[in-house]
Chains A and B, each alone.
Chain A
Amino acid sequence: MPYFRTAQRTPTNFYQWLIEELDQLLRDAKLDADARRQTALLIGSSSFDVHVSEQQYRTEIANLGSEQAVAMPIVGYGKLAERCGDELGLSPHRHTYSTACTSSANAMIYGKQLIEQSLVKHVLVLGLEPENNTSALGFYGLGLISPSEQMHPFDNDRDGLVLGEGLGAVLLSDKSQTPEHEQRFRLMGGAIGTDNHSLTAAHVDGAEIARVIEQALAQANIKAQDIAAIKVHGTASLKNDEAEAAALHRVFGPALPTAFAFKPYIGHTLGACGALEVALTLGCLQVGKLPCTPNAKGDGDLGITITNKPLPSPTGYYLFNCFAFGGNNNALLVHDQGAEARH
């Protein structure tokens, strides 16, 4: 089965590895002990540490036999955040989001709100998805994995997704806590909506997704024509791409902004993809480029073309789409005021 693995192989002690990564991140951001006490930790994931749970269960099966062994030995979605929060001396605001593929995108919205409510000064949002059998075989059993082992979002020959693992982190800070030269990107907020038409696929008419995008725009007080570019969800599954395309046509009409996608490169990282794809986008914008997908054909009847040429990144508002099983839809907006504006 195809899978996008990170170059860094699974660490022997996953928890220690995660804590060290986060500690490095907080050091890079120059957050001292005082600032850390004012920093919330929000984790969004589909599977958390289920890979450790699987490993532990396999060991127990080998030692005790499958009758005695306890399946799913590690429970408590919030354990990871508490453990990291305790070790890193963070604020007691450690919240864990479990809404499948929108988990870390949803965390972004509430990160902003926690800061605006003055409950914390910084928020570390994590999107986390380590490779595990439950997700991989669960998706395979649903027939959603691409037989061609390649993701072609919105193309006519799209045939499903490839899963991936990853860790994405975004640090949100109150303006008063952010040096002026780091005020380039601003999270404008976002919206969440529920499409309970079908448990496993979005409604292909795109109305519910369009509603969420429009809500996000309205809350941020900006118009569709103000959007500079769109990071699509683009899972390359038949119905979900159809729904996303229909929604984009509803919201933007004939003037569709440039659209770009990450999943052909990194796979669908499920609960991590919200924060991870925002982090990757900001990295691209910092070097002045939009990510492009060279093999995107754009021949789709869906009328959405993923950019296949390297383009300079425009300043302005970026829309991030993210949708999940069970009809949980998320739209985020980020403003890039450009590299020059900070001087």
Chain B
Amino acid sequence: MYIENSYSLLHKVDAKAPELADAQSVIQHWHGKRIRRIDRYIQLCVAGGLACTEKRELPGNTGVYLATRCGAVSTSALVMKTIEAENELPKPLHFINTLGNSAGFYLTQLLQVTGTALVLSKEAHSFEAALLHALMDLSLGKSEYALVGAFDEVALPVEHQLKRLNFAPDAPALFEGSHWLLLSNQHKALNVSLPIFANSLVEIVSVTQPAATNVQLSFAPTDAEREQLSEYQVNVFCQRELDQGVAPHGAFSAASLIDAVSKTVPMLHISRSDNGYYCAVALND
């Protein structure tokens, strides 16, 4: 399947002076007005989805495949605090915003699509999971277009978020963002393969047999991993930040993959999960 368009909003939140990504202004740009009652998690979804589709009129059956590793953390924490610490009922609006389909509801309404809508999660490979589902449906002819997006937010305060994500308390910054692909079955410059999951790089390379010599990684590789990829031209996405200990967000592999797409050359993209699985996505022309 082919890549029609892509969009990435990657934002680094300084741990000392946290400033969150301004998703409302992206929404404002594409939609013309602010949307009320949506939290930042939903804003990240809507902003990315609108920016990736750029006011295209998509067919009504276009599938929307959303991915998030951690979901609406800020609002979920707020609801839990209201219940457990304040002994109050959660506000209806807050509870609704924590539900799985709420982000997709706003986005599909704005895009005027009524086809398949999913929310997938798979730890560090959440975006790849959504991509897999989109590609399976496209190959079955369920729709001509599929919009795939991954988004994860930084929930303040920073020290709580670092604790939740199990990162070092002295991490200098945290990433957050929203990263998207619009796929179609119409021929375009770049096509994207079905994601392959395996527990070794050797297996990944032997299964994908990449035609490309370029590999992009969404993680800082060990020496052993570098060795296994020695035949390839390896680029590590945001290497400097990763070396500095910046905490990647749940959708980090998506940010890296969209970055690889933007280079418009054949490439193998590989991400790694905490429990040692790799996921490869091949971009070919």
A residues at B contact (CB < 8 Å): 46, 50, 53-54, 57-58, 61, 66, 69-79, 81-82, 86, 91-100, 102-103, 106, 110, 113-114, 117, 133-134, 137-138, 140-142, 191-196, 199-200, 208, 211, 271, 324-328
A134 in contact with B76 given A82-B273, A97-B119, A100-B100 (CB within 8 Å): yes
Asked whether B108 lies within 8 Å of A134 as measured between CB atoms, the reply is no
Question: Counting CB contacts under 8 A, is B123 at the interface?
Answer: yes
List A contacts of B145 (CB < 8 A): none
List A contacts of B199 (CB < 8 A): 92
Asked whether B85 lies within 8 Å of A76 as measured between CB atoms, the reply is no
Asked whether B100 lies within 8 Å of A75 as measured between CB atoms, the reply is no
Q: Chain B: how many interface residues by the 8 Å CB criterion?
A: 63
10 closest cross-chain pairs (CB), A and B: A326-B101, A138-B95, A77-B121, A92-B197, A98-B100, A72-B77, A71-B77, A196-B109, A66-B85, A326-B105
List A contacts of B129 (CB < 8 A): 78, 95-96
Asked whether B123 lies within 8 Å of A78 as measured between CB atoms, the reply is yes
A78 in contact with B115 given A54-B84, A71-B78, A71-B80 (CB within 8 Å): no
Which partner residue on chain B sits nearest A113 by CB separation? Answer: B136
Asked whether B104 lies within 8 Å of A328 as measured between CB atoms, the reply is yes
Min CB distance, A93 to chain B, in Å?
Answer: 6
Q: Which of B12-20, B22-30, B160-168 contacts A (4 or more CB under 8 A)?
A: B160-168
Give residues 56-80 of B contacting A (CB, 8 Å): 64, 68-71, 73, 76-80
Asked whether B140 lies within 8 Å of A113 as measured between CB atoms, the reply is yes
Kindly state the separation between the CA atoms of A271 and B98 in the bound complex, as whole angstroms. 14
Per-position contact with A for B97-117: 1 when CB-CB < 8 Å, else 0? 011111011001100011111
Asked whether B80 lies within 8 Å of A72 as measured between CB atoms, the reply is yes
Asked whether A98 lies within 8 Å of B89 as measured between CB atoms, the reply is no
Min CB distance, B49 to chain A, in Å?
Answer: 13
Asked whether A71 lies within 8 Å of B70 as measured between CB atoms, the reply is no
Kindly state the separation between the CA atoms of A58 and B155 in the bound complex, as whole angstroms. 20
Choose one: B108, B119, B122, B194; the contact of A196 (CB below 8 Å): B108
Asked whether A327 lies within 8 Å of B101 as measured between CB atoms, the reply is yes
Kindly state the separation between the CA atoms of A208 and B108 in the bound complex, as whole angstroms. 14
Asked whether A325 lies within 8 Å of B102 as measured between CB atoms, the reply is yes
Asked whether A66 lies within 8 Å of B81 as measured between CB atoms, the reply is yes
Min CB distance, A332 to chain B, in Å?
Answer: 14
List B contacts of A66 (CB < 8 A): 81, 85
Most buried by A among B79, B83, B123, B250: B83
List A contacts of B120 (CB < 8 A): 95-98
A69 in contact with B100 given A86-B275, A141-B92 (CB within 8 Å): no
Asked whether A133 lies within 8 Å of B84 as measured between CB atoms, the reply is yes
List A contacts of B139 (CB < 8 A): 117
Asked whether A194 lies within 8 Å of B70 as measured between CB atoms, the reply is no
List B contacts of A208 (CB < 8 A): 114
Asked whether B89 lies within 8 Å of A326 as measured between CB atoms, the reply is no
B residues at A contact (CB < 8 Å): 64, 68-71, 73, 76-81, 83-85, 89-92, 95-96, 98-102, 104-105, 108-109, 113-123, 126, 129, 132-133, 136-137, 139-140, 155, 160, 163-165, 194, 197-199, 250, 273-275, 277
List B contacts of A92 (CB < 8 A): 197-199, 277
Min CB distance, A81 to chain B, in Å?
Answer: 7
18 additional A-B pairs beyond A117-B194, A142-B92, beta carbons within 8 Å, are: A54-B83, A66-B81, A70-B77, A75-B69, A76-B121, A76-B123, A77-B69, A81-B122, A86-B275, A92-B198, A95-B129, A98-B119, A98-B120, A102-B101, A110-B133, A133-B83, A138-B98, A325-B96
Asked whether A71 lies within 8 Å of B81 as measured between CB atoms, the reply is yes
Asked whether B105 lies within 8 Å of A196 as measured between CB atoms, the reply is yes
Choose one: A46, A196, A200; the contact of B114 (CB below 8 Å): A196
Choose one: B99, B118, B277; the contact of A325 (CB below 8 Å): B99
Asked whether A192 lies within 8 Å of B117 as measured between CB atoms, the reply is yes
Which partner residue on chain B sits nearest A44 by CB separation? Answer: B100
Asked whether B73 lies within 8 Å of A94 as measured between CB atoms, the reply is no
Asked whether B80 lies within 8 Å of A77 as measured between CB atoms, the reply is no
List B contacts of A53 (CB < 8 A): 80
Most buried by B among A73, A74, A77, A200: A77
Asked whether B275 lies within 8 Å of A82 as measured between CB atoms, the reply is yes
Which partner residue on chain A sits nearest B78 by CB separation? Answer: A71
Kindly state the separation between the CA atoms of A9 and B197 in the bound complex, as whole angstroms. 37
List A contacts of B99 (CB < 8 A): 46, 100, 325-326
Most buried by A among B69, B95, B115, B155: B95
Most buried by B among A53, A113, A138: A138
Some 28 contacts from A to B, beta carbons below 8 A apart, are A54-B84, A58-B84, A61-B85, A66-B85, A70-B77, A71-B78, A74-B164, A76-B121, A77-B69, A78-B126, A81-B122, A82-B123, A91-B197, A92-B199, A92-B277, A98-B71, A98-B100, A99-B118, A102-B101, A110-B136, A113-B136, A134-B76, A134-B80, A134-B90, A193-B114, A194-B104, A325-B101, A326-B104
